[in-house]
Amino acid sequence: MKKFITYARTECSYIGKETYKDLQMVKQALRDSLGYEFNLTDSVPKGKYINDEKIEEHSAITPTKVSPTFSQLSDDEQKIYRLIALSVLKLFCPVYEYSKTTIIIQPDRSSLV
Domain holding 106, by residue range, is: 1-113
User: Regarding predicted confidence, which is higher, 75 or 46?
Assistant: 75
Instruction: Output the domain CATH number for residue 43.
Output: 1.10.290.10
Number of domains in the chain: 1
Cα three-residue angle 38-62-34, rounded to 5 degrees: 35
Query: Taking the C-alpha atoms of 31, 88, 96 and 50 in order, what is their torsion angle to the nearest 10 degrees?
Result: -140
Helix (H, G, I), strand (E, B) or coil at 15: strand
Global pTM reads: 0.72
User: Regarding predicted confidence, which is higher, 49 or 77?
Assistant: 77
The tens digit of pLDDT for each residue in 20-59 reads 888 888 888 888 888 888 787 766 766 678 888 888 778 8
